[in-house]
Amino acid sequence: MNRMENKIAVITGGASGIGKASAIRLAQEGAKITIIDRNAERGKAVIKEITELGGEAIFCQADITNEKQVADAMAQTAKKWGTITTLFANAGIVGTVSPIEQFSTKDWAATIQNNVIGTFETVKQAIPYLKDNGGTITITSSVSGNRRFAQEGFSAYSSSKAAIAAFAKMAAIELAQHKIRVNSICPGTIDTNIFESLQESEIVNEINFPFDIPENGIPLKQEAGKSEEVANLFLFLASDEASHLTGTEVYVDSAESLIKG
């Protein structure tokens, strides 16, 4: 216990799924938490849950693509607790899935805007506070776009996740001078509500790959992972136990992507 004592963590997409599990996990280890999310009802419910567990947390409603809203959330955190030591840039959407030929530019760009620009904006606005005493940034990427490419219609999502994995590596080098570690987590199939954001094109089933993909190919456990399992990885990366680890992608997928690539 208390592995994150005196740490101030900002978690985007913290109202549900991996973000929620991570907020609770870090609070259990002594961190003070700021949850940033668009969904106020869910976000405030997580704050209540953390408080009932004896933790400390605040909620900031914000769209991660909105520069002012994200900047205000970071400023509120620093005003409340003095600084920021840990950032989890976790918020993301699946967005539209469609054959490339029929993919509207507007829909493709919307996924890039949320996942890439939103991640960039989150990291950018946190840096001035993280520079105070060093700290950690963890970005939620995905097996999609890094190890897995055979997903019908996922060109926008996979491209966005590949982009932010590369961004994390660039940031790791640039921010090392400030003693800020930057890593990315690449989850496979995790039991979350991310597919609430999916908008499936009616013609996506026209994509036919000339090979077979195992439907239930999750070698280690034969089932989807849990948000708490990803949260445990985030806890490690954010803790001092990972003090020599930066610029790295860590896959948490029960070896699924090794046979579904």
pLDDT band at 247 (very low <50, low <70, confident <90, very high): very high
Tell me what pLDDT residue 194 has.
66
Structural domains of the chain in order of their starting residue, each with its CATH number: 8-260 (3.40.50.720)
Give the residue-averaged pLDDT of 118-137.
Answer: 97
pTM confidence score: 0.94
Tell me what pLDDT residue 197 has.
61
| Token pair belonging to 193 | 């509500």
The one catalytic residue among 88, 154, 157, 234: 157
Residue 217 pLDDT greater than 90, yes or no:
no
Tell me what pLDDT residue 195 has.
60
Give the residue-averaged pLDDT of 156-161.
Answer: 98
What are the residues whose beta carbons fall under 8 Å from the beta carbon of 110, sequence distance 6 or more?
Answer: 95, 96
Is 157 labeled as catalytic in the residue annotation?
yes
Residue 85 pLDDT greater than 80, yes or no:
yes
* Least confident piece of the model among 35-44, 65-74, 143-152, 241-250: 143-152
pLDDT tens profile 161-211: 999 999 999 999 999 999 999 999 999 989 877 666 666 666 777 767 767
Rounded to the nearest integer, the mean pLDDT of the chain is 93
Tell me what pLDDT residue 220 has.
83
pLDDT tens profile 31-65: 999 999 999 999 999 999 999 999 999 999 999 99
